[in-house]
């Protein structure tokens, strides 16, 4: 579990500050921490990015591989998203198979990328029903300082926009792969995710580690460029009201516009 045990007294001081409209690190309630984004950081990966939101740091690598399409979707390529909450990233992360937090992170990121239609998967078909490109997207979380969801979505988008695959031609029965002609994978959309935490009855953007530990509820919202919703996930053990959900979408629509500035031009 990511959530660690926090003394009640810390929780109180975080809540009190937020109810006064302030935050421990001096940010406004709807303000993100500093974001940094580099792409192409791993030469051995066909696409990569290193993203930092505050001190949270994720290295994302994308590797294409030729494989068979799923039987029920013979005419689209395959995207496989995987995440590892490395034991290096926090004192309470453990080595071993992905735990539920890690699985949720990978699946929500995957939904944001997939339903947000980042990749034109139909263009990844080499031979319909038989050979397609599979893109393995691996999220390597190396430092955990809160708000993994937004960092994962941003890093994944950047890594995919950075990804190149070799061009292929079909000669007779054979697929010929030319590693000297690398072409970018077809990018259709650029969805991003914005996470808001409900603390002391308020919604605050980009929860820090301290806020993550004391929050009542979390809502992560994936949005396309036009502000339409492509993914959503509530977390935490306190409910949200209908109005809080709708308010969260409005805030997220504003904040993703800002976040979008960190994306390098394709």
Partner 1 sequence: MIIILTSKLIKNSNKGSLVTSGTKKRPDGRAFDEMRHLKIEAGVLERADGSSYVEIGDNKVLAAVYGPRELYVRRLLKPNMAILRCRYNMAPFSVEDRKRPGPDRRSIEISKITAEALNPAVFLEKFPRSTIDVFIEVLQAEGGTRCAGITAASVALADAGIPMRDMVAACAAGKSEGQVVMDLSEWEDKEGEADLPIAMMPRTGDITLLQMDGHLTSDEFEKALDLAIKGCQIISEEQKNAIKNRYGD
Interface with partner 1 in residues 29-58 (CB under 8 A): 42-45, 48, 55, 57
Q: How far apart are CA 199 and CA 140, in angstroms?
A: 28
Q: How far apart are CA 62 and CA 76, in angstroms?
A: 18
Q: Beta strand 78-85 with 131-143: parallel, antiparallel or unpaired?
A: parallel
**Span interacting with partner 1, options 16-24, 25-33, 177-185, 256-264, rule CB under 8 A:** 177-185
In the complex, minimum distance from the CB of residue 26 to partner 1, in angstroms, rounded to a whole number? 17
3-state DSSP call for residue 13? helix
In the complex, minimum distance from the CB of residue 183 to partner 1, in angstroms, rounded to a whole number? 14
100 binds partner 1 (CB under 8 A): yes
State the Cα angle at 243 between 240 and 248, rounded to 5°.
75
Question: Chain-centre distance of CA 90, in angstroms?
Answer: 19
- Interface pick for partner 1 out of 230, 255, 256, 259 (rule CB under 8 A): 230
178: left (phi over 0), alpha (psi -120 to 50) or beta: beta
- Interface pick for partner 1 out of 53, 124, 145, 207 (rule CB under 8 A): 145
In the complex, minimum distance from the CB of residue 230 to partner 1, in angstroms, rounded to a whole number? 6
124 binds partner 1 (CB under 8 A): no
**Span interacting with partner 1, options 29-37, 150-158, 225-233, 257-265, rule CB under 8 A:** 225-233
- Interface pick for partner 1 out of 143, 202, 213, 258 (rule CB under 8 A): 143
Closer to partner 1 by CB, 179 or 265: give it.
179
Task: Give the count of residues interacting with partner 1 (CB under 8 A).
Answer: 75
- Interface pick for partner 1 out of 21, 245, 254, 264 (rule CB under 8 A): 245
Cβ atoms 139, 257 nearer than 8 A: no
Residue 80, strand partner residues: 136
111 binds partner 1 (CB under 8 A): yes
241 binds partner 1 (CB under 8 A): yes
- Interface pick for partner 1 out of 97, 261, 265, 266 (rule CB under 8 A): 97
CA distances 48 to 126, 153, 164, 217, Å, are 23, 13, 10, 31
Q: Please provide residue 6's backbone torsions phi and psi, each rounded to the nearest 5 degrees.
A: -120, 130
3-state DSSP call for residue 69? coil
What secondary structure does DSSP assign to 98-135, as a single string?
--HHHHHHHHHHHHHHHHTT-B-GGGGEEETTTEEEEE
In the complex, minimum distance from the CB of residue 20 to partner 1, in angstroms, rounded to a whole number? 25
Contacts with partner 1 in 76-95 (CB under 8 A)? 82, 84, 86-91, 95
């Amino acid at each position: 579990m990511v959530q660690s045990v926090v003394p009640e007294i810390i929780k109180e001081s975080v809540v009190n500050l937020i109810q006064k409209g302030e935050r421990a690190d001096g940010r406004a309630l709807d303000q993100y921490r500093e974001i940094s984004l580099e792409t192409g950081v791993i030469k051995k990966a066909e696409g990569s990015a290193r993203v930092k939101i505050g001190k949270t740091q994720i290295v994302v690598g994308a590797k294409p591989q030729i494989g068979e399409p799923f039987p029920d979707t013979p005419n689209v390529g395959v995207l496989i998203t995987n995440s590892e909450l490395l034991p290096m990233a926090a004192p309470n992360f453990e080595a071993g198979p992905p735990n539920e937090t890690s699985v949720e992170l990978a699946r929500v990121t995957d939904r944001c990328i997939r339903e947000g239609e980042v990749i034109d998967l139909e263009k990844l078909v080499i031979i319909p029903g038989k050979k397609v490109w599979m893109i393995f997207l691996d999220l390597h979380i190396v430092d955990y300082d809160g708000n993994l969801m937004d960092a994962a979505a941003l890093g994944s988008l950047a890594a995919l926009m950075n990804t190149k695959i070799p061009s292929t031609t079909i000669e007779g029965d054979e697929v010929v792969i030319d590693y000297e002609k690398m072409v970018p994978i077809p990018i259709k959309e650029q969805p991003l995710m914005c996470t808001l935490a409900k603390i002391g009855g308020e919604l605050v953007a980009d929860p820090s580690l301290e806020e993550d530990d004391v929050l009542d509820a979390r809502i992560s919202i994936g949005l396309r460029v036009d502000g339409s919703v492509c993914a959503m996930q509530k977390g935490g053990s306190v409910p949200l009201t209908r109005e809080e959900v709708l308010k969260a979408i409005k805030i997220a629509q504003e904040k993703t516009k800002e976040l979008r500035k960190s994306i390098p031009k394709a």
